[in-house]
Structure 1
Amino acid sequence: MTSPRPDHRSAPGAGRCPATALYGPHLDGDAMPGLYEELRLRHGPVAPVTVAPGIDAWLVLGHHELLRLTREEQDFSHDPRRWTLLREGRVPADSPIMPMVGWRPALLFADGQQHRRMRAAVSDALTRINGHELRRTVRFTAERLITSFAERGEADLVPHFARKLPMEVIMRLLGLDERTGQQLVQAIAGTVVANADSANASRRMGAILGQLIEDKRREPGNDVTSALLAHPARLTDEEVLHNLVVMFVAGNQTTVNWIATTLRILLTDAAFRSSLTGGHLTVDDALDLVLWRFPPTQNFPARYATRDLHFGGQHIRAGDMLILGLAAANADPSVLPPDGRPVTGNRSHLAFGAGPHACPAQDPARLIARTAVDTIRHRLPDMELAVEEHELAWVKSPWTKGLAALPVRFADPQLPAPADPGGDPGVVPHPAPAYPRPPSPSASDGRPAQHPVPYPAHPQGERR
């Protein structure tokens, strides 16, 4: 970015307060909270950082400042084509930040009327999900996964449960079969790593979703994809494609982290677990505690200043990139209880963002996470950690807050009774969220398509 200028007290390279690297193997889930507090003490609510080699940005740490950043589109745009470094050709094509901030025709990168048009379609498609059917889907999927490892008496709940469940449920919501969904996961992962195969992975991703859209235009189903295609906003096929990827990527990994971290709290916090068992607290309280203390997404790119302005004690230049410090804003002392008590019964956290771009999938994500956690704690009531708590490792990523592993053991699984082939097993096999039948496929509105660009998943990094 072009700012801060060298004469400013927080200017990178000025010798006083150099920008702090927000990337590298030293930054994991254990190190990040301390880094946020150090930055807050040195710079205040907005701090200079680098998000990739040679890429400067501002990290917004303050709760009040983050609310302003997310609410005032006239000052802070979502469109990366405003980014000074990108406009001046100073961002390498293979920069690891590009998969996350490269422009696409999706609601994540739009402002104003264009954003409202796409947001309406996505929100309406999500609102039409049948909550009762979704709960049954999640419960069935959770019980099937638990049954698959129950005989062993041990499991790693990250790969065996938390990582599989949201992916399977979201694939069903989008109208993908399991095999195609796995191919999509692999293609998205290959796109993000930014290596020699990324372009091929991006093409595979586009081909999979393009075929899904073609199939659903020809034969609509009871799924989110069909609902998007039928919406009065008349999204183009490419807009549907990129908004599907936003929903898949954002919905999958954040829910994985949310489930795994909530289970960690229930396994390691005896007082909280006792209050939950005694009915004084609920699974929703545990979920909210995670959103306050360990939000699944720590930092989220990005906004771009539309003009020069003073913000959070810093002088921001038009075209500067600003990163949403969700975890840091949630830890802002100005909004936390002064006595250090856990925050429960309060959802003013910023884990889902805020303003017109707040996550539109909060309700289904919570239902998925709540049902997943509730199901496994009832099916494995004697579940306990198989390692010491201090041995648990977080994924090394400045963007997400997720466990690398959660090994558990148990002795007395309470599995559901086997289904009677001739009767109702009590859990619907492969239930699908119910939608009203979409109208017949309609023609595209003729707007020109945009060239696809590699799409982001939150980088998972490596295990410590």
Structure 2
Amino acid sequence: MYGPGLDGDNLPELYARLRARYGPVAPVSLAPGVYAWLVMGYREVLRLARDERNFSHDPRLWNLPREGRVPSDSPVLAFLGWRPALMFADGRAHRRLRSAVADTLTGIDGRELVRMVRNMAGRLVDSFGEAREVDLVPRYAHRLPALVLARLLGTDDRTGRQLAEAVTGAAAANADSGNAARRMERVLLSLIGHRRRRPGPDAVSRLLAHPAALTEEEVLHNLMVTAVAGYQPTKNWLATSVRTLLTDHSLRSSLDSGLLTLDDVLETVLWRSPPTQNLPARYATRDLCLGGQEVRAGDMLVLALAAANGDPEAVPPRDVPAAGNRGHVSFGAGPHTCPAREQARLIVRTAVEVLWHRRPGMELAVPEEDLVWWTSPWTKGLAALPVRFTAPRTVAVPAPPTLPGPAAGARTPPPPVP
């Protein structure tokens, strides 16, 4: 599960080979000498996600480091090392941290978020000017979530770009991942210090003031988890959705004719190409059997979300549209289901709407098989999406969709802090 050959093109083939040989649970290596179980069965992933008694989130239970078998500079530790964050906690500790993060996210006004994303997306599309060809990953799918992240955290666009670059580096699981994680930590520590002195109507200030009374270390690491979960999957989902509309003519025709809505298309993308391929990790609390494999206490288990979505025993055939079907596990499942999933939906839907309306007549500028993907065991994302515009750009932006009102006490994102 590492090396230059691990990209978006061959991951599905890898899952199919592993499933054919081992069944729903397969032994894999995440890095040299770092072994784990890859849980690919839909039912097995649900069990893993829901059963905290037998499968803990706490990496301090992991047997390989306790046995001295994981080098301290291993690239996977940037994602797998323990931190005082909701991603690494169970039971009461998890509920306390999750309540703080979830309440912070609930404070985001949905209507204001759509308005903000629509304006930012419009400016980015306008920046294409009269260019006939544009790479949408660096010019749109990368920049837009970074701008949104910066605004929601109450900081400036430059800091948002620094965070986005650090998140991408940490997710790459390469030799620089540890440095990228430390860069992210430094940026967030500076922002936390500023918001302690000058609180505002932003996510950092809300987290600092939450009744759960998080320590500064807990605030830092929960912000790190939120930044990783909020930026990287959103960027990947956005780019993959555009790519799907450009390459799946049946799906695009159904959208154009009104047989499917854009939300239906986005759910189909989540079924087929979830932005988070593999979610680390759970640790067995006792010896047990899972998917026909004998798992030892302390073994790591990775939730193969993409493989579970494609489990032929549990999901509809690929040629059946996923209209209205949110049974996929692309946002996880159980107590640790992603708390920002609805905000991510609003961002991606609005971004695709604006792009599709402002630049009609798009087509790929290269053959589909020549598209380049990031190399990562955790995420599936395009490294480039070059498109050609075959029709004049439009100016008017369609009216925003009807949304539920903001949650009680919701506040709008703040202006950026210099």
1:94–1:194 CA contact under 8 A, matched in 2: no
1:222–1:435 CA contact under 8 A, matched in 2: no
Aligned-partner residue type, residue 160 of structure 1: R
Q: Does 1:230 align with 2:171?
A: no
Map 1:102-251 → 2, pairs under 5 A:
102-188=81-167, 203-251=182-230
Give, in angstroms, the shift of residue 28 of structure 1.
Answer: 1.6
- Runs of at least 5 residues in structure 1 that lack an aligned partner in the other structure: 1-21, 418-425, 427-432, 439-464
SS in 1 for 2:302: strand
Give, in angstroms, the shift of residue 181 of structure 1.
Answer: 2.4
Aligned-partner residue type, residue 50 of structure 2: R
Q: Deviations over 1:312-341 (max 9, x none)?
A: 111111000001100000001112235842
Q: Does 1:260 align with 2:201?
A: no
The percentage of counterpart residues that share the same residue type is 62
Aligned mates of 1:325, 1:161 — CA distance in 2: 28
Aligned mates of 1:150, 1:346 — CA distance in 2: 38
CA distance change for structure 1 residues 44 and 200 in 2, over 3 Å: closer, same or farther? closer
Give, in angstroms, the shift of residue 384 of structure 1.
Answer: 1.4
Aligned mates of 2:245, 2:174 — CA distance in 1: 39
- 2:42 maps to which of 63, 74, 79: 63
Aligned length: 403
- 1:414 maps to which of 379, 394, 397: 394
Aligned mates of 1:70, 1:133 — CA distance in 2: 33
CA distance change for structure 1 residues 37 and 170 in 2, over 3 Å: closer, same or farther? same
Aligned mates of 1:375, 1:437 — CA distance in 2: 21
State the partner residue of 1:298: 277
Q: Does 1:381 align with 2:395?
A: no
Aligned mates of 2:126, 2:59 — CA distance in 1: 46
CA distance change for structure 1 residues 338 and 294 in 2, over 3 Å: closer, same or farther? closer
Give, in angstroms, the shift of residue 209 of structure 1.
Answer: 1.6
Aligned-partner residue type, residue 57 of structure 2: H
CA distance change for structure 1 residues 350 and 306 in 2, over 3 Å: closer, same or farther? same
Q: Does 1:24 align with 2:3?
A: yes
Aligned-partner residue type, residue 393 of structure 2: P
Q: Deviations over 1:175-202 (max 9, x none)?
A: 1111222333445556667888777655
Query: What is the TM-score of this pair, normalised by structure 2?
Result: 0.91
1:297–1:400 CA contact under 8 A, matched in 2: yes
1:301–1:322 CA contact under 8 A, matched in 2: yes
Aligned-partner residue type, residue 121 of structure 1: A
SS in 2 for 1:263: helix
Aligned mates of 2:176, 2:248 — CA distance in 1: 43
CA distance change for structure 1 residues 23 and 207 in 2, over 3 Å: closer, same or farther? closer
1:223–1:435 CA contact under 8 A, matched in 2: no
2:168–2:232 CA contact under 8 A, matched in 1: no
2:170–2:177 CA contact under 8 A, matched in 1: yes
Aligned mates of 1:358, 1:385 — CA distance in 2: 34
State the partner residue of 1:33: 12
Aligned mates of 2:261, 2:350 — CA distance in 1: 12
Give, in angstroms, the shift of residue 214 of structure 1.
Answer: 2.0
1:57–1:321 CA contact under 8 A, matched in 2: yes
- Runs of at least 5 residues in structure 2 that lack an aligned partner in the other structure: 401-406, 414-418
1:153–1:409 CA contact under 8 A, matched in 2: yes
Alignment root-mean-square deviation, CA: 2.3
Aligned-partner residue type, residue 139 of structure 1: R
Which has more radius of gyration? Answer: 1
Aligned-partner residue type, residue 414 of structure 1: T
CA distance change for structure 1 residues 222 and 101 in 2, over 3 Å: closer, same or farther? same
CA distance change for structure 1 residues 192 and 349 in 2, over 3 Å: closer, same or farther? closer
Q: Deviations over 1:36-76 (max 9, x none)?
A: 11111111111111111011110001000000000000000
2:141–2:239 CA contact under 8 A, matched in 1: yes
State the partner residue of 2:403: none
Compare 332-341 and 220-229 and name the one that shifted more.
332-341
